[in-house]
Amino acid sequence: MSLKVNDIEKIMEKLAPLKYKENYDNVGLMIGDSEAEVSSILVALDCTLEVIEEAKEKHCNFILTHHPLLFNKPNSITTETLLGRKILKLIKNDINVYSSHTNLDSISGGINDIIMKILDLETASIIEYSPLSNDSKKAGIGRIAPLHKTLTLEEICENIKCKLQLDYLRYCGRDNMKINKVAVINGSGEEYIKKAKKLGAQCIITGDTTYHFISDCNEEGIAVIDAGHFETEWPALIVIGKLLENTLKLMGFDNSVIMSKTCKTPYKYK
């Protein structure tokens, strides 16, 4: 029995239904043929040129990403743009690309919940519920959890560095401030920070924060920990990749699911 692209589509859409994506988002099969046979699967946060080359070298004709390759509609597909070069390279090499983004963030057991688990936090509530969360599958952006014991902001920072294996992170707030309730918004969560505070979070863990916004948070006494966009998503996507591999095995498929080695944050620090 050969694995087809649509088999993976069905698995991913059972796990993270497309209906749970945010309105601005684009998810699902980005490039490819639903009826095509799949060799091996490469899992990456982004579909970069390096990741595409890695897929070629490892004989993977299916790339599963978190961030959509086609987030904005291209006006043209040519070698003059980065996106155009990616699309043409994928098509020339018969590589399929599927992206599961905000729907995978939102669902129960998805990216946000996995990061909560890695950080030893118990999910108590969702910051912003999906309009469809009145059905049997609760979903939405961000999570809020009470701590087992009161910690200082400095202690929480050190715990995050340990759990996510970080050498550094950015944060604002008094080091000795007492925290007993935190929020986690994986990836870029700046727009949900003030809502999280209104819901009782004293510290918000996220990524991709900007200077002026954090300056205001600092003045307002909101503790924010910016652990990085990549860093708050990639560890969880590794778990999703293993889940996909196990699901395929249970279905009788022996296709390899490979975690990308070239997938990394674009930032460098000295």
pLDDT digits 0-9 by tens, 159-198: 999 999 999 999 999 999 999 999 999 999 999 999 999 9
Domain total in the chain: 2
The mean per-residue pLDDT over the stretch 91-101 comes to 98
Q: H or E segment at 92?
A: helix 82-92
46 marked as binding residue: no
- Residues 197, 178, single domain; the answer is yes
Q: Is residue 269 in a domain?
A: no
pLDDT of residue 52 exceeding 90, the answer is: yes
Same domain, yes or no: 10 and 114: no
Asked if residue 181 and residue 117 are part of one domain, the reply reads: yes
Query: Residue 8: in which H helix or E strand, if any?
Result: helix 5-15
We report the CATH number of the domain holding residue 48 as: 3.40.1390.30
Is 190 part of any domain? yes
Distance between CA 68 and CA 65 in Å, rounded? Answer: 7
- Residue 242 shares a structural domain with residue 187: no
d(CA 242, CA 231): 18
In-domain check, residue 149: yes
Say how far apart CA 218 and CA 120 lie, in whole Å: 26
- Give me 138's structure tokens: 């609760």
pLDDT for residue 183: 97
State the pLDDT confidence band at 39, using cuts at 50, 70 and 90.
Answer: very high
Percentage, residues of the chain above pLDDT 70: 98
229 assigned binding-site residue: yes
Q: Which residue segment(s) compose the domain that 145 sits in?
A: 107-226
Same domain? 136 vs 98: no
Is the domain of 91 the same as that of 21? yes
The whole-number average pLDDT for the span 202-215 is 96
Do residues 10 and 65 share a domain? yes
Single-letter residue type at 267:
Y
Q: Is 66 annotated as a binding residue?
A: yes
Is residue 214 domain-shared with residue 240, that is, in the same domain? no
Contacts for 144 with CB less than 8 Å, ≥ 6 apart: 124, 125, 126, 127, 181, 182, 183, 196, 199, 200, 201
Looking at the fold, whether 247 and 151 belong to one and the same domain comes out as no
Asked whether residue 248 is assigned to any structural domain, the reply reads yes
Q: How far is CA 22 from CA 76, 101, 145, 153, 207, in A?
A: 25, 9, 23, 31, 18
The pLDDT confidence band at residue 86, using thresholds 50, 70 and 90, is: very high
Q: What percent of the chain has pLDDT over 90?
A: 92
**Identity of the residue numbered 14:** K
Say if residue 118 is in the same domain as residue 180. yes
Q: Is residue 82 part of a domain?
A: yes
Instruction: Give the pLDDT confidence score for residue 73 in this predicted structure.
Output: 83
**Bridge partners of residue 204, in order along the sequence:** 183, 224
Give the up-direction half-sphere exposure of residue 21: CA atoms within 13 A in the CB hemisphere: 18
In a domain, 270, yes or no: no
Q: What is the mean pLDDT of residues 242-260?
A: 97
Residues 213 and 115 in one domain: yes
Q: 174 lies in a domain?
A: yes
112 — phi, psi (to 5°)?
-65, -45
| pLDDT, tens digit (0-9, with 9 covering 90-100), for 108-156 | 999 999 999 999 998 779 999 988 766 656 899 999 999 999 999 999 9
Residue 193 falls within a domain, yes or no?
A: yes
Question: Is 59 known to sit in a ligand binding site?
Answer: no
pLDDT of residue 135: 62
- Predicted confidence at residue 238, as pLDDT, reads 98
Q: Mean pLDDT across the chain, nearest whole number?
A: 95
**111 lies in the same domain as 222:** yes
